[in-house]
């Protein structure tokens, strides 16, 4: 993963406090200062000192530092940087309902900088300077409210940049971010709240906590998507993502070297992902927990749908790696919802299943099912558990659509020990004949099956009766066999008794 480069930007108004030779600002640079309380129009020259509106391109800056409110409703003149609340005890507000703030490469906006407090309300038009910082530098406090037809489309949006900073962004009401990097908590404290169909699309990466920062992103609708990486708790940062409602977090197809990672790079801290209600998590290139030594990665899924795919990668490649660094700091807690992953590596760390539904093709490690439903493969399919399988509560859900294991009916293959105490649930999708059999658990270990399903030795499903043999196959497999219905057996028995009675006369 790429490291974030750190940049310092110094406006001309602060030049007296620094060596002149350290500044890369032309001698003719002009700092335009907002001089009215407002709300007032940005493009009215008398609202600025010196008289504006701000223009002149590179080297010139605009400051809203007097606690006033400036309003942009159309395109503004070219200006290098915009500062809203920059410096100790300064404050300002910028309201934008239309137009754009573009000047060019190297042109940035700062909302709440170095002890100042700034607010940016963007409901229309575009903030398309190269970078937009919300809360930057020691004591910088910034707020972004992005809604309506507002759009952030520069290269980077950084919320909480640098030690001692605090940034908050609320994206809602169709507010939209389309850029390369979306960063929350880059060395500082960042909060992102996405609701009411707010959208973030990163052409490159999404970082929730970076460079030792602390970040929280909460979503109850809308979407956050990235083409390369989604990193929660990156480079010694501590990040938390809360997904509820209909929120969607997605790593898009196309780049196999990137994935969703929790606890990658640096030392200490890590990432937590909480998924509930009808939220959706998707990754074409899987998810990695506790990627780096000394860093944790935790997923708590109580609802929603998580879909993860295997992919081609020399160092990774599995749909879900629970504890990549192998130090026991990765955890996946499945208590509700659906987890659909092709290959799950839980050889170290903790995979705790107490509810929900698990679809998988392969599970590496011991699977202890304390609730929920295990549904092997993908309708129907085979699931290989390289380890032990223990069903203490919940059910094993098996589809029977034909007589061929893995393609027409579900099969669970276990290389270790098998222990059963929960339920067996069958979904019969065809008409089997008497005597047809199905090896639903292929126990490749040496030991006998431990325990039985709660149904005991027989189960009825789809209008058919099945005998359950726990010593089937090569002696320790679970095999179902279609048997006559009990009512049929009773009728046969009564017929035999009737014939016997006739012969006795």
Structure confidence at residue 59 as a pLDDT band (50, 70, 90): confident
Q: What is the dihedral of CA 270, 368, 397, 324, to 10 degrees?
A: 30
Residue 104 has a pLDDT of 64
On the question of pLDDT at 182 being above 80, the answer is yes
Q: Are 69 and 42 in contact (CB under 8 A)?
A: no
Q: Are 392 and 421 in contact (CB under 8 A)?
A: yes
List the beta bridge partners of residue 358: 339, 374
The half-sphere exposure of 232 on its side-chain side, counting CA atoms within 13 A, is: 28
Question: SS3 helix, strand, coil % of the chain, rounded to 5?
Answer: 5, 55, 40
How do residues 262-280 score in pLDDT, each as one tens digit? 999 999 999 999 999 999 9
Q: Give the number of other CB atoms < 10 A from CB of residue 502.
A: 8
Q: Are 173 and 197 in contact (CB under 8 A)?
A: yes
User: H-helix or E-strand containing 151?
Assistant: strand 151-152
Q: Are 189 and 158 in contact (CB under 8 A)?
A: no
Question: Cα separation of 359 and 338, whole Å?
Answer: 8
Question: Cα separation of 65 and 419, whole Å?
Answer: 69
On the question of pLDDT at 11 being above 50, the answer is no
Residue 315 has a pLDDT of 87
Q: What are phi and psi of 133, to 5 degrees?
A: -105, 130
Percentage with pLDDT > 90 across the chain: 85
On the question of pLDDT at 487 being above 50, the answer is no
Structure confidence at residue 10 as a pLDDT band (50, 70, 90): very low
User: H-helix or E-strand containing 487?
Assistant: helix 486-504
Question: Cα separation of 361 and 364, whole Å?
Answer: 10
Q: Are 382 and 400 in contact (CB under 8 A)?
A: no
What pTM does this model have? 0.91
Structure confidence at residue 505 as a pLDDT band (50, 70, 90): very low
Tell me the pLDDT of the chain averaged across its residues. Answer: 91
Which tokens sit at 477? 């497999």
* Interstrand relation of 31-34 and 367-376 (parallel, antiparallel or unpaired): unpaired
Higher pLDDT among residues 102 and 66, named by residue: 66
Q: Which of 3-12, 57-66, 346-355 has the highest mean pLDDT?
A: 346-355
């Amino acid at each position: 993963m790429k490291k974030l480069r750190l940049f310092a930007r110094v406006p001309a108004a602060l030049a007296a406090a620094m060596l002149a030779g350290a500044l890369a600002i032309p001698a003719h640079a002009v700092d335009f200062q907002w001089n009215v309380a407002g709300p007032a129009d940005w493009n009215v020259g008398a609202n600025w000192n010196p008289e504006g509106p701000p223009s002149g391109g590179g080297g010139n800056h605009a400051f809203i530092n007097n606690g006033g409110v400036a309003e942009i409703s159309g395109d503004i003149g070219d200006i290098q940087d915009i500062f809203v609340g920059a410096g100790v005890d300064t404050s300002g507000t910028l309201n934008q309902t239309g137009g754009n703030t573009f000047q060019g490469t190297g042109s940035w906006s700062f909302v709440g900088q170095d002890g100042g407090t700034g607010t940016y309300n963007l409901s229309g038009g575009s903030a398309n300077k190269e970078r937009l910082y919300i809360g930057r530098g020691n004591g910088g406090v910034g707020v972004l409210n992005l809604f309506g037809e507002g759009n952030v489309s520069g290269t980077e949006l950084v919320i909480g940049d640098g030690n001692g900073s605090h940034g908050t962004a609320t994206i809602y009401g169709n507010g939209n971010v389309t850029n390369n990097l979306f960063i929350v908590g880059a060395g500082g404290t960042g909060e992102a709240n996405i609701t009411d169909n707010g959208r973030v699309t990163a052409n490159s990466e999404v970082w929730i906590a970076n460079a030792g920062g602390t970040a929280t992103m909460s979503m109850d609708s809308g979407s956050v998507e990235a083409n390369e990486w989604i990193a929660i708790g990156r480079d010694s940062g501590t990040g938390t993502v809360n997904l509820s409602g209909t929120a969607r977090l997605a790593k898009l197809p196309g780049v196999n070297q990137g994935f969703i990672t929790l606890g990658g790079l640096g030392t200490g801290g890590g990432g937590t992902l909480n998924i509930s209600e009808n939220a959706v998590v998707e990754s074409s290139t899987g998810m990695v927990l506790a990627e780096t030594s000394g860093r944790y990665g935790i997923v708590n899924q109580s609802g929603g749908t998580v879909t993860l795919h295997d992919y081609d990668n020399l160092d990774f490649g599995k749909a879900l790696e629970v504890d990549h660094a192998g130090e026991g700091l990765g955890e996946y807690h499945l208590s509700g919802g659906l987890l659909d992953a092709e290959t799950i590596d839980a050889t170290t760390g903790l995979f705790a299943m107490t509810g929900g539904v698990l679809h998988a093709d392969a599970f590496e490690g011991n699977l202890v099912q304390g609730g929920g439903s295990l549904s092997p493969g993908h309708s129907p399919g085979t699931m290989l558990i390289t380890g032990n399988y223990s069903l203490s509560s919940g059910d094993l859900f098996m589809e029977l659509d034909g007589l061929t294991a893995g393609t027409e009916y579900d099969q669970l293959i276990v290389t270790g020990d098998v222990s059963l105490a929960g339920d067996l649930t069958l979904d019969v999708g065809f008409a089997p004949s008497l005597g047809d059999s199905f090896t639903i658990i292929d126990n490749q270990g040496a030991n006998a099956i431990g325990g039985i399903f709660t149904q005991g030795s027989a189960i009825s499903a789809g209008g058919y009766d099945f005998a359950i043999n726990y010593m089937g196959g090569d002696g320790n497999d679970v095999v179902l066999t279609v048997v006559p219905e009990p009512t049929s057996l009773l009728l046969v028995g009564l017929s035999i008794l009737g014939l016997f009675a006739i012969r006795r006369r």
